A and B are shown apart, each in its own frame.
Chain A
Amino acid sequence: MPQSRIRTLPALLGVLAAIAFAALPPAPAAAAAPMAKTQAPGYYRMMLGDFEVTVLNDGFIDLPVDKLLKQPPAKTQAAVAKQFLAIPLETSVNAFLVNTGTKLVLIDTGTGGNFGPTAGRLVANLQAAGYRPEQVDDIFITHFHGDHLGGLTANGQAVFPNAVVHADKRESGHFLSQAAMDKAPADSQGTFKLAMAQLKPYVDAGHFQAFEASAEIVPGVRSWETPGHTPGHSSYVVQSRDRKMIVTGDLIHVAAVQFDDPTVTIDFDVDRPAAEKQRLAVFAQAAREGDLIAGAHLQFPGLGHLRASGKGYQFVPVNYTQPR
């Protein structure tokens, strides 16, 4: 076939060129080891007073943050570039496992694969971290979005068969209500349906408990009502001895923007002024008291302190430590 003959000469030249280039390096290339192409298990461990905290990474979600944040896109693009990042922003999804010594507590559960293949690794990382799902005693959900409760149930079965699930009554009252779902816009019906399906095995087994506003449900773990992002969004304060960690759920999505300017809200917030107010209140306390922040969408492991800076804050990630 004529076509193949026409291709032969350039192809041959290409091969010769490749050989010539390959001969350029001074040191002959040894049989290079194949690239490993794997990542270390996504968990990180730290002591908080007497409690053992294990951050579990569920994976990542790519976010078009310039479109989502409620400020001019150019401003977001500049802030992201300043942090040497790009849009879409590869955003961590984290959950937090706390062993208080008497209870094994999980705060949020990741996506369970409901947000595509880049997330859904929470249980694998929990197992890599040395625990089993059936050891979990209590699960606290910050809010009923799919990347926080999506890991509760798989194929209709409870992933954490011995756990009691806790959430703010306003959250369950909203997302588990058929009437509320009927009133909701069409594009948020999926959120309701997923929440109902994820909670079902726990509700059926009597393993779901709603709490009212701010309450201490397990010694050392209390809820802090921070409604705004969703009607019953809760933060959780974990405290042992004099050390405190605030699990902030979705009070912050984009570190590159919302620490510098905590007044910037995001498309996902159902009540933006309230969401902003809660973020400001929690950040102010964390900075004042030196509390640790544990963020579901801060880059894994999502742990750090806040330093007041101008009109906003600087996030200071925790130092890397090893158990001794």
Chain B
Amino acid sequence: MTSPRLPRRAVLRALAGFAMAGAAGGGLLVPVPARSAGPMARTQPPGWYRFMLGAFEVTALSDGTIDLAPEKLLKAPVAKTTQRLSQSFLSTPVETSVNGYLVNTGARLVLFDAGAGGLSGATLGKLVANLRASGYRPEQVDDVFVTHLHPDHVGGLAANGAMVFPRATVHADRRDADYWLNEATLAKAPVDAQAFVRGAMASLKPYVAAGRFQSFVADAELVPGVRSRSSYGHTPGHTSYIVESRAQRMRVIGDLVHVGAVQFADPTVASGFDLDAKAAAAARIDAFKRIAKEGDLVAAAHLPFPGVGHVRSVFRGYEWVPLNYTRLP
């Protein structure tokens, strides 16, 4: 394995800059005084969506959205990225979803990724509120499986140093734990990237202290109906999870894809967030190939909420087919 690098300072700065520009330039529309219409409601419904996977109940949870500048983030020519965005009727910055997934297996309540908590700005950190709105309480969660230890996936684990899911055991691949929960990584990290390491450490600390953090090695059967499948590259221990009930399968793929408008058409395009771009691209290509072949459902942290759908192989690359909106049985 090539030695992982931390995101470059320039990428981080560019992302921060574009996020600011997005906040200033977009979304702020001058309200027109209402006559008989009444004031605009201007709210979005609570960000959760529920469906069944075999006998399991799956609830997609929105943590919010964050602006990303794909043409800066992606390792592809700017003109090509801009063209692909416009073919999907998008322009930079792209309001990008951050999603987690709650699965009730009937025996355990399992959460995949915990959102950003307070680590990534005010537009994120809504996962727990949406979990509550969906009819559950954080203390009911038995296990949290994190795809990797980036702040928008683990930040929601802790608040003010305390466990947000006080009865849960947190699970992650040992490689990610060894990398992020490590003073040596912090010492080597550029100043801009140190926040990522500190964020991971702070988010996991109360669980580690309580003996409720467990790392696993590569591909493992974790709880009945949930197993891990290594997809290293984005981070040293980035992991996908396969959830299976009654022959129906869903793959929780974490950060294997960030920008659907580009990376389905060309899965070789890596992102500036990938610590090992080459391995990350290989993991994405391998996953898309398997998923398209086997017809598995996919749950992706950064595809438009609820981020659940299928992947279809096309002439060149792949297409994303969002899940039909359905009633519950």
Contact = CB atoms under 8 A, between A and B. Distances in A.
Contacts of A42: 45
A184 B273 CA distance: 64
A41 B45 contact: yes
Contact of A135 (B33, B37, B135, B223): B37
Interface of A: 24-27, 29-30, 32-33, 35-45, 47, 49-50, 52, 54, 57, 59-60, 82-85, 90, 92, 99-104, 118, 128-131, 135, 137, 290, 299-301, 305, 307, 316-317, 319-324
Which DSSP category, helix, strand, loop or mixed, fits chain A's interface?
loop
Given A38-B135, A101-B34, A307 B42 contact: no
**Residue among B49, B89, B106, B167 with the most chain A CB within 10 A?**
B89
B104 A35 contact: yes
A45 B43 contact: yes
Interface stretch (B8-16, B249-257, B321-329): B321-329
A38 B34 contact: no
B327 A39 contact: yes
B3 interface: no
A131 B38 contact: yes
Interface stretch (B22-30, B146-154, B238-246): B22-30
**Residue among B40, B304, B312 with the most chain A CB within 10 A?**
B40
A55 B312 CA distance: 28
Which DSSP category, helix, strand, loop or mixed, fits chain B's interface?
loop
A128 B143 CA distance: 32
A323 B37 contact: no
Contacts of B17: none
Contacts of B304: 317, 319-320
B97 interface: yes
B97 A320 contact: yes
B104 A39 contact: no
B34 A102 contact: yes
Interface in B122-155: 123, 133-137, 140, 142-143
B294 to A, nearest CB: 12
A43 B137 CA distance: 24
Contacts of B123: 322, 324
Contact of B223 (A27, A83, A103): A27
B2 interface: no
Contacts of A29: 107-108
Given A30-B108, A92-B325, A104 B37 contact: yes
B45 A137 contact: no
Nearest to B102: A36
A54 B41 contact: yes
A33 B109 contact: yes
Contacts of A301: 325
A85 B47 CA distance: 24
Contacts of B142: 30, 32
Contacts of A316: 88-89
Contacts of B133: 40
A324 B36 contact: no
B327 A35 contact: no
B89 to A, nearest CB: 4
Contacts of B100: none
Contact of B36 (A41, A43, A130, A137): A137
A85 B36 CA distance: 43
